Amino acid sequence: MTRRDTIPTWGDRRFARIGLLGGSFNPAHCGHRTIAQRALVALGLDQVWLMVSPGNPLKPAAGMAPFARRFDSAASLADGHRLIATDIEARLGTRYTFDTLGKLQTRFPNVHFVWLTGADGFVTLPRWKGWKRLLHRVPVAVMPRPGQTMRALRGAAAHYLAHYRLSSGQARLLPDLSPPVWTFLPGRQNGISATSIRQQGGFGVDVGQTGTPDTFNSGDSS
């Protein structure tokens, strides 16, 4: 978050509801903003944190911009109010999401965290450190991404969580439920990726303007 770790109080609720959108943000783009805003509304979140990874354990360091540059890119999407860019994972000294979540949940006992991911992240989840234990640690919301949605909905993580899926109509309950629990949030999908931005010339683009037209994805096809 903008280098500030105090959690505001939210009316008379004892818990804040915060979505974690972990990412490399190499660079950040409008696809991140789209899914962050969808999660805010659909899950009734107080904030979404764009949590900049010090280094995705599954991605090569080659081609990865320095952390400060990726953080600044994420910060360019943030509004400092509902959408927050945070370097907390770097400060915690963790790289694996399972470890990061453990530390965050200890540090912020009054926060109900939800893990937010595009469909591609749900596909790769079974390659993450302690992925099943991770799913017992945090509710998860998955959002569509072109070419990845059906793979995600039919993949190993979805199979493992088959009995714990909440309908999108009940999504607002997700942050306050005990994991394992997950939902798929259908909606407009955006074909933009950081890879395509880098291929078109790196960070020298206006991330707010870059993107392909949205198309709606209900999760029935991908």
Ligand X SMILES: Nc1ncnc2c1ncn2[C@@H]1O[C@H](COP(=O)(O)OP(=O)(O)OP(=O)(O)O)[C@@H](O)[C@H]1O
Ligand Y SMILES: O=C(O)c1ccc[n+]([C@@H]2O[C@H](COP(=O)([O-])O)[C@@H](O)[C@H]2O)c1
Which parts of this chain interact with ligand Y (CB under 6 A)? Answer: 22-24, 53, 56-59, 96-98, 121, 128-129
Name the closest residue to ligand Y (Cβ): 22
Binding at 190: pick from ligand X, ligand Y, none (beta carbon under 5-8 Å per type): ligand X
Binding mask 20-59 for ligand X (x = CB under 6 A): -x-xxxx----xx--x------------------------
Closer CB to ligand Y, residue 121 or residue 175?
121
Closer CB to ligand X, residue 80 or residue 147?
147
What number of chain residues touch ligand X (CB under 6 A)?
Answer: 20
C-alpha 156/C-alpha 154 separation (Å) is 7
Binding mask 188-207 for ligand X (x = CB under 6 A): -xx-xxxx------------
* Residue the block writes with tokens 């302690």: 130
> Is residue 48 exposed (0-12), middle (13-18) or buried (19+ Cβ within 10 Å)?
buried
- 140 is a contact residue toward ligand X (CB under 6 A): no
